[in-house]
Structure 1
Amino acid sequence: MKHFNLINAILILFSLNSVIAQSKIDISEKEARLLSKEAFEFGFPAVFIENQFYVNSYVTKPEGLKAPINQFAHSREFVDASNRQYVGNNVDVLASLASIDLSEEALVITIPEMGDRFWLMQLINTWNEVPAVPSSRTHGGEPRTFLVAGPKWEGNVPDNMELLRANTETTLIVLRLYCSGKEEYKEVNAIQDQIKITPLNQWGKNYEAPSHVALKENFDGNRDVDEIVMSLTPEEFFNALNKILVNNPPYEEDQPFMEKISKLGIIPGEEFNYNNYSEEVKEAITFGVADAKHAIAQRVKNLGQLKNNWILTYDMGRFGTDYNYRAAWSLIGVGGNLLEDAFYPTTIIDEDGEMFDTNKYAYKITFTKEELPPVASFWSLTMYDIQSYLVDNELNKYTVGDRSNLTYNEDGSLTIYMQKDRPTEDKVTNWLPAPIGPFRIALRLYTPKEQVVNGSWIPPVVQKIK
């Protein structure tokens, strides 16, 4: 009897070992490396934006540019050159930001009267794409009530509400309001105070947002998002992606790719467990993720067409199945505007293809009367140092544009001067102060006209003043 039990025990142990061996995912090292690279690029926006969602909401009550989930945070004034928290600071609009969770209920967002003020409310989904963006271009300046619903919501839209369907449950909102400067802060802040989020089941019940919300557990919301994401191990990253995919589905055109990476274990709701792989395959996955990070960093250097030495991007918020491109934009630019709402050419090089350097030259850009930025709203040109921070200067002047008191030439053309030293008094009005050494400039065209959208308008080259 003891001998029989011993044999049974051996057989059972053998069977268990066979099951464990069979549970190992059957994939070659070469394929694992390639699939992990492609899967990381594909999933990067989802993991990045989920962490952005929680960083933006990591406060117990609205504070600065952070607010608890389903509440707005508001920028109340423009930053100056001392602000090094964000790169590429915008000094054209004041922003209101929200992290909204659509898993339990649809949300009602009320927008007050805007008059003729430029505004847009951008929904940004898990994939860094824009499923909806009502704006002054599409809706004018009348008060509006929107019902924002997730992909699984079913119900009747109440009267006098417009449905905005977000295709992921984790969604960010960026609402931009034009502001001319300090003289308008009070007026724009008053508009911001009237922008409200209300759960649909609380609509009409004098709802007040919670005055105190607990912080997310086991999360450090004081770290930079890129630091959080880039420090994840491959196992942590892919496990996070599998969880995110459950309630934030990819697009229909992504399904063939989803089937492809399922062989690696990227399956919605499944646990991504390193114990399912041999040591050699685990090493290959690690190399594949490193390959992806390198490829994303390389793509960041080439995110648009180069014309007249300006980088021009026409497909922000609509990336298709170019996952490497989408990942690169997610790393440096969550929430880029759709082309019909805003166009942002940037450059760091002059007419000769050389990097700007004010230790060597002063610079100018001249728009002929026919070349002036064609917009239905407004345009600006902003100066940044080479790290994309605003530039400290004696005038506290960071941008010029069609709202500035610029001096036009007799033939209707416009010349803007970019240099570190103060020019002669006749040029000060058109002077955009530059830092010592290299710099970067960004044009912003709000509600660009058709010749911008179809690519027939290109900014003129920046010239050296010799």
Structure 2
Amino acid sequence: MSKFLTTLFIALCFGSIAQTSDHRLSNNEIKELAKDAYLFGLPAVWIEHQYYVNSYATEAQNAKAPVNQFAHGRAFANAESREFVGANTDVLISSASINTTDEPLVITLPEMGDRFWLMQFINTWNGVPAVPTSRTHGGQARTFFVVSPEWSGEVPFGMDLVRTDTEITLIVLRTYCSGVEEYAEVNALQDEVKIIPYSQWNKDYQVPAHVALNETVDGTKDVNALVFGKSNETFFKDLSRLLIKNPAYTVDTPMMERIAKLGITPREDFSFEGFSKAQIKAIDEGVAEAKQAIFARARDLGELKNNWILTYDMGRFGTDYTYRSAWTMIGVGGNLLEDAFYPTTILDADGEILDGSKHNYTLTFTKENMPPAHTFWSLTMYDDESYLVANEIDRYRRGDRSDMTYNADGSVTIYMQAERPSEDKVSNWLPAPKRGFRVALRIYTPMESVFNKSWLPPAIQKNN
């Protein structure tokens, strides 16, 4: 049975029982159901808002573009940037909110040569239905035929099929850039990335110069504030509506059956009408517990090894709904392990919080234990709020494509400290703030030793 038919079957079988729930469910059962429903549904509600915030623009500019247009990041973030936490300084990011309901879309990519690129499709559940990359498609120019879940037909000659599996779909295109010296070259590649309605393919299609804003949505507020500021009735109303065209996975059927007992099914008209005050209070309590669970899980998003947090299942959350919601809140669209591995830490080898006001630190990779990347790796410095760190040399990362000095035995040591080190160490210096900080290690196209978990990043050592 397809995802859509499964969702429809559940809706028809269960419907809403809000009118009779006080006779069939205890308040404690209602509280638990509300908690489960919130944990399950947060990604859908969240990503819909992200979709509308990203597309709240009359023309493509900065990080926003109208639906079915790309917004291109033309330069790396810097220490003054406060638009995103955990900013990436390895790739320039292009993003789009797309809609394939009316017709398929054609997305063209220019020839990339040996440059790393990754075009990730993100669905309503923070899953990754497709991710063509340089790993899977090489560096030749490509044309992708992007269709809705219900589309059937013949794929045009010379195009690669990409099928979305929910109505709400985001795209994040990452293109490697070595730094300022490559901006012009990478920006030119970005300009050749096009989204074209299929009906306009092979015609003189011009991107609309101006698109009216969608005044039915609030595209100005932070998604955090929008989602967590909702009333619980509105949240569940939105979830019920979203389930119509953004069906849950087949594996979610047991959860769909559970939350149907609260009347949360694919429908437009969910409300708290018919619930008693005591039942609504129980729902509020359940949602409060769900939020607490999400915030708690956000502090535990992977395995702790050598005091690094290692996450191996981004984009593949299964039925761990608390985990999926926590990752949605922290970062929509994490890379699949085949494409990137992102160990992060705020701890040194002694388990103490990294603090540039108290210590200098080193991270040494031996020749035999270099980050196992088929393409490249980097280490980025962030302050304790996950923003890039201002420093005298405007440096935010070090990696195998940096001009670092290697030791005689083939190892490399990165110096993380607030004060400038001696000149022989400056090439390997990653400036730290005079406060708490965290670092992120990015390994692109990881090797088998990451998949089998035999490779681990070494612990960060105090240097004084």
Smaller-chain TM-score bracket = over 0.9
Which amino acid in the other structure matches residue 438 of structure 2? Answer: R
Q: Deviation string for 1:275-295 (max 9, x for gaps)?
A: 121111011001111111000
Q: Secondary structure at the match of 2:145?
A: strand
Q: CA deviation at 1:218?
A: 3.0
- Residue in 1 aligned with 2:280? 282
Which of 220, 223, 226 is the aligned partner of 2:221?
Answer: 223
Which amino acid in the other structure matches residue 361 of structure 2? Answer: Y
Q: Deviation string for 1:196-240 (max 9, x for gaps)?
A: 011112212222222211111232211000110000111000000
Q: 1:23 to 1:261 in 2, by over 3 A?
A: closer
- Residue in 2 aligned with 1:414? 412
Which of 196, 205, 213 is the aligned partner of 1:207?
Answer: 205
- Residue in 1 aligned with 2:162? 164
CA distance in 2, matches of 1:165, 1:391: 40
Q: CA deviation at 1:253?
A: 0.7
Q: Is 1:130 equivalent to 2:128 in the alignment?
A: yes
4+ runs of 1 displaced by more than 3 Å? 19-26
- Residue in 2 aligned with 1:177? 175
CA distance in 2, matches of 1:22, 1:311: 46
- Residue in 2 aligned with 1:435? 433
TM-score if structure 1 supplies the norm length?
0.94
Equivalences for 1:27-176 in 2 at 5 Å?
A: 27-176=25-174
Which amino acid in the other structure matches residue 296 of structure 1? Answer: I
Q: Secondary structure at the match of 1:261?
A: helix
Which amino acid in the other structure matches residue 194 of structure 1? Answer: E
Equivalences for 1:246-395 in 2 at 5 Å?
A: 246-395=244-393
Q: Deviation string for 1:10-43 (max 9, x for gaps)?
A: xxxxxxxxx9965978432111100110100100
Q: CA deviation at 1:109?
A: 0.5
Question: For structure 1, which runs of at least 5 residues remain unmatched after alignment?
Answer: 1-18
**Conserved? CA contact 2:22–2:279, under 8 Å:** no
Q: Deviation string for 1:301-332 (max 9, x for gaps)?
A: 00000000000000000000100100000001
CA distance in 2, matches of 1:21, 1:72: 46
Q: Deviation string for 1:152-201 (max 9, x for gaps)?
A: 11221111111111111110000000000111111000000000011112
Question: For structure 2, which runs of at least 5 residues remain unmatched after alignment?
Answer: 1-16
Q: Deviation string for 1:127-151 (max 9, x for gaps)?
A: 0011110000001000111111121
RMSD of equivalent CA atoms:
1.4
Taking every aligned residue pair, what percent have the same amino acid on both sides?
Answer: 60
TM-score if structure 2 supplies the norm length?
0.95
Which amino acid in the other structure matches residue 432 of structure 1? Answer: L
- Residue in 1 aligned with 2:5? none
**Conserved? CA contact 1:344–1:445, under 8 Å:** yes
- Residue in 1 aligned with 2:6? none
Structure 1, 59-68 or 101-110: larger mean CA deviation = 101-110
Which amino acid in the other structure matches residue 80 of structure 2? Answer: S
**Conserved? CA contact 1:25–1:264, under 8 Å:** no
CA distance in 1, matches of 2:200, 2:325: 37
Which amino acid in the other structure matches residue 92 of structure 1? Answer: D
CA distance in 2, matches of 1:23, 1:41: 21
Which protein is bigger by CA-based radius of gyration? 1
CA distance in 2, matches of 1:54, 1:163: 25
